[in-house]
Copies of this chain bind each other. A is one copy, B any other.
Amino acid sequence: MAVRKTLSMAAIQISRIMRPDDANIAGNVHGGTILKMIEEAGGIISTRHCNSKSGERCFAALARVERTDFVSPMSIGEVAHVSAEITYTSKHSVEVQVNVMAENILTGAKKLTNRATLWYVALSLKNVDKILEVPPITYERKEQEEEGKKRYEAQKLERLETKHKVDNVILPIVNPEPHTVGYSQSSLIHLVGPSDCTPHGFAHGGVTMKAMDEVAGIVAARHCKTNIVTASVDAINFHRKIKKGSVLTVSGRLTFTSNKSMEIEVFVDVDPFVDDTQGRYRAASAFFTFVSLNKEAKPLPVPQVVLKSEEEKKRFEEGKGRYLQSKAKRQTEMNSLTQ
């Protein structure tokens, strides 16, 4: 009886068809898609287990993933079956073992693609800094508990070691001084996937604009650390098509601040991996203006940008020109409306 209860409590299976967005252009599913499903199954099963006795409600937070091998690639159209089982519990930790099978539903062929081991700790819902006790599981055989304990001790040691290492990391800070251009400067890379594209295999212009707005927003948030929203976007020209499978590098830097707005210049550069004959090229650039809002959606003052180089000062003056020009234009429009 005890064994049956343990198994039914301690097993879950997540299944899903692999879609074009889960894979690269060659049709191979990204390792990251599988890792995400593995952790979803692990999180469900360990949260459920940690709440299986009465007492304080908690959720399971991922503490460690053991080394994971991808035994064979998975393809679009195959069904990923991710099954998770709790295999060991210590006072404060849960060990989950996960198997991933790929099933070709046309041929019926199944193959193992992954095996993973994850460690979770139970955190109180009321106070997320409080670690709670984990209910023990029942083992079918004595050796299962002993082997689990060995794995637990080994990973504990390694966690302590890396914790020490991580705590002593000095992050490479490009420019430590707040409100400088270097401080808020940001960039992201984005792999142009199937859902980003027209049926003919070119990125929708809207996808590029969304990525540009995202980078500009992060620059603005880094600069003023408040709730920021897009106020306007300058004209953007798209001179070249962007092919599926390309990698976009989108970078943004602060150029100008007025009392209540920030101007951010954003560049989009493209690496067309699918097309060897072509090198990296600039696909678009634009100026985004952001404002900072308080809880009543009223504009807040924006910290003045600190300029460090002649280049930055030149760009600031150009930004000021654009700012004054668009302010004057708005004024003219207002006047013509109220006449």
A63 interface residue per 8 A CB criterion? yes
Are B35 and A187 interface neighbours, CB within 8 A? no
Contacts A32-B211, A238-B63: A189 and B44 contacting too (C-beta < 8 A)?
A: yes
Seen from chain A, the residues whose Cβ lies within 8 Å of a Cβ on chain B are: 12-17, 19-21, 24-26, 28, 30-33, 35-40, 43-44, 47-48, 51-52, 57-59, 61-70, 73, 76-77, 79, 103, 105-108, 118, 123, 125, 128, 155, 158-159, 162-163, 166-167, 169, 171, 173, 178, 186-191, 193-195, 197-200, 202, 204-207, 209-215, 217-218, 221-222, 225-239, 241, 244-245, 247, 269, 271, 273-274, 276, 280-282, 285, 288, 293, 295, 297, 326
Contacts A24-B217, A35-B213: A12 and B189 contacting too (C-beta < 8 A)?
A: yes
Residues in B neighbouring A202, C-beta threshold 8 A: 61, 128
Q: Which of B59, B159, B237, B288 is close to A64, meaning CB atoms less than 8 Å apart?
A: B237
Are A65 and B236 interface neighbours, CB within 8 A? yes
Are A36 and B199 interface neighbours, CB within 8 A? no
Contacts A15-B218, A44-B79, A229-B73: A32 and B213 contacting too (C-beta < 8 A)?
A: yes
Q: Which of B16, B204, B228 is close to A14, meaning CB atoms less than 8 Å apart?
A: B16
Residues in B neighbouring A37, C-beta threshold 8 A: 206
Are A158 and B221 interface neighbours, CB within 8 A? no
Are B236 and A64 interface neighbours, CB within 8 A? yes
Residues in B neighbouring A211, C-beta threshold 8 A: 32
Are B280 and A199 interface neighbours, CB within 8 A? no
Could you name 18 residue pairs across A and B whose Cβ atoms are closer than 8 Å? A14-B15, A14-B188, A15-B15, A19-B194, A20-B197, A21-B194, A28-B229, A36-B204, A40-B204, A43-B198, A44-B191, A48-B103, A62-B204, A62-B205, A63-B237, A64-B238, A105-B221, A155-B235
Residues in B neighbouring A326, C-beta threshold 8 A: 67
Contacts A69-B232, A106-B51, A232-B69: A189 and B14 contacting too (C-beta < 8 A)?
A: yes
Query: How far apart are the CA atoms of A217 and B29 in the complex, in Å?
Result: 12
Contacts A76-B25, A237-B64: A35 and B195 contacting too (C-beta < 8 A)?
A: no
Query: How far apart are the CA atoms of A282 and B273 in the complex, in Å?
Result: 30
Contacts A70-B232, A189-B188, A237-B63: A44 and B166 contacting too (C-beta < 8 A)?
A: no
